Structure 1
């Protein structure tokens, strides 16, 4: 006679599953809220200082949380700063997409996005734009692959726009990914020059000129007036107000 198998476990009552589910959802929401508060605090410090010279204790103090809590969610300062950069890239891509929302033509949308990317540093407080540019360079030294993944929102948007312009035969490229890579690389170099200082040794060009030069390499030969028209229809955020200097005696 075969030995009896293990007794089946009693099925959990439905209320138990509901209680566990609510508990896990509540814990997840608390974790996201606390981590987001720390990311916001670190972002404020980057923008305020124009660098990342602050300590993790400074971040915890700014967020009103303990250092122990910070290390529950981020294993190091670089891990936290990477999260800051990820959030910045999500916002950056959203702003660029909003800036071209009024444009329908694929070529205008591509050119408009590139012009917006070139103009945005001037529409951001100097300390903030410089701090974020330095942050990207530092993180790229630590783990370039993670930085590349963090830039996925803007890279995906640019690839989408290049693909649409190519499909409309507004540009000519045998490889849309390669074209998007070149455009994003040139845009990043231009942004670094405008935020961290011109180390090229040649006077910089206006954003529309840079964009026109880049797109001519893809077979798009538009006039100066055309770029001016596209740039004039972008929905960009307002430029920051300059702080008034205190009057001297």
Structure 2
């Protein structure tokens, strides 16, 4: 029996099904907007597009767009977060084939460096145009977007610490955050048109973050 203050079980089930269906439809609408925006970015090679263009490409309504997003900025942020999340998933899959904690860290850091480097043949305005502006205007949003990468590197740091491969004084999470920022900054700053300058390699970056520059006493 149900008390007078409780909803009947059938009604609870009906409400739960309704909510589940509504969430699924909302997720599908969001994905169509994201796919439309991504295709426009690829075509134009920039983030210079209007909300109306995205709405038209997605074959949905302007009202539907503003039910899902506050505006173009939030749409771009969603695309940026999605790209970083996929990058973390790809790195996680790559390190899965290794068992040594330090080797897993090495693979992750080198892949993060390579994937963050400017590629003249690949137009990635989300990273070359939007991300730098976002870092200045909305640093807290950048922190949230990078969370999947920080979580992954923290896990790898914790594995290395548990195996006795890190200094006892090292905080895995703080080290993970500093490592991610260092690797991505070096990668994004290493593109040079001067052929006389030897590009920084992934191996050099790993050597720096793993060993620093001071000799052991």
Same-fold status (TM-score > 0.5): yes
SS at match of 2:124: helix
Aligned twin of 1:215: 210
Aligned twin of 2:165: 170
Which of 23, 38, 62 is the matching residue for 2:33? 38
Which of 186, 193, 217 is the matching residue for 2:189? 193
Q: 1:123/1:202 Cα in 2 relative to 1: closer, same or farther (>3 Å)?
A: closer
Aligned twin of 1:151: 146
Bigger Rg, structure 1 or 2: 1
Q: 1:12/1:206 Cα in 2 relative to 1: closer, same or farther (>3 Å)?
A: closer
Structure 2 unaligned blocks of 5 or more: none
* Contact kept? 1:51, 1:132, Cα under 8 Å: no
Residue 102 of structure 1 and its aligned partner are, at CA, apart by 0.9
**Per-residue Cα deviation, 1:98-156 (whole angstroms, up to 9, x for no partner):** 11111100000001101111222579784443443322222223311122012111111
How far apart are the structure 2 equivalents of 1:13 and 1:163? 48
Q: Which has the higher contact order (CA 8 A, sep 6+)?
A: 1
How far apart are the structure 2 equivalents of 1:27 and 1:58? 25
SS at match of 2:206: helix
How far apart are the structure 1 equivalents of 2:30 and 2:87? 20
Which of 129, 132, 135 is the matching residue for 2:130? 135
Structure 1 unaligned blocks of 5 or more: 1-7, 222-249
Residue 10 of structure 1 and its aligned partner are, at CA, apart by 8.6
The normalised TM-score by structure 1 is 0.73
- The residue correspondences of 1:37-186 to structure 2 (distance < 5 A) are 37-121=32-116, 126-172=121-167, 173-186=169-182
* Contact kept? 1:47, 1:127, Cα under 8 Å: no
Which deviates more from structure 2 when the two are superposed, residues 112-121 or residues 170-179? 170-179
The normalised TM-score by structure 2 is 0.83
Aligned residues: 212
Q: CA RMSD in A?
A: 3.1
How far apart are the structure 2 equivalents of 1:175 and 1:21? 42
